[in-house]
């Protein structure tokens, strides 16, 4: 009897970069015109390094930093975004990727 050979592949899981923390200063509410800083932390929980563009989405409008970041396995990246001249309103703020 002959047993066929088999291929056994070991491959790390792909990068999994997600936002893990977001802090907005100063605290809400703020008198207009208001300037705020949004600080976002991203973490790569995947099995290997990955590339992404840190960005923020405010009321559906995405603003990235304009370049890609290479994030190592288990690595973190922190980016601060400035929001200036905010007038009276509610702002929906999200990290991207989230």
pLDDT of amino acid 66: 97
CB 39 within 8 A of CB 22: yes
Q: Which of 24, 32, 20, 22 is nearest to 88 (CA)?
A: 32
| Residue 28's CATH number | 2.60.40.10
Structure tokens of 83?
């929001």
For the chain, the domain total comes to 1
Kindly report the pTM of this predicted structure: 0.89
What residues make up the domain containing 90? 17-96
- pLDDT, averaged in runs of 10, over the chain (98 residues): 92 95 93 95 97 98 97 98 96 97
pLDDT score recorded for residue 28: 83
Inside any domain, residue 7: no
Is 6 within the bounds of a domain? no
| 13 CA to centre of own chain | 19
Residue pair 71/41 in contact (Cβ under 8 Å)? The answer is no
| Strand pairing class (55-58; 93-96) | antiparallel
- Please check whether residue 47 lies inside any domain of the structure: yes
Q: Is residue 11 domain-resident?
A: no
Residue 95 carries which DSSP code?
A: E
Determine the pLDDT at residue 27. Answer: 86
Domain presence at residue 72: yes
Query: Has residue 67 been placed in a domain?
Result: yes
- Is 3 part of any domain? no
Q: How far is CA 68 from the centre of its chain?
A: 11
Whether 12 is covered by a domain: the verdict is no
């Amino acid at each position: 009897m002959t047993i066929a050979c088999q291929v056994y592949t070991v491959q790390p899981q792909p990068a999994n970069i997600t936002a893990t923390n977001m802090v907005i200063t100063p605290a809400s509410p703020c008198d207009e015109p208001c300037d705020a800083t949004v600080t976002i932390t991203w973490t790569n929980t995947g099995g290997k390094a990955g590339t992404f563009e840190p960005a923020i989405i405010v009321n559906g409008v995405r603003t990235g930093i304009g370049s890609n970041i290479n994030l190592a396995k288990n690595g973190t990246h922190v980016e601060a975004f400035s929001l200036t001249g905010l007038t009276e309103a509610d702002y929906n703020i999200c990290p991207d990727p989230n």
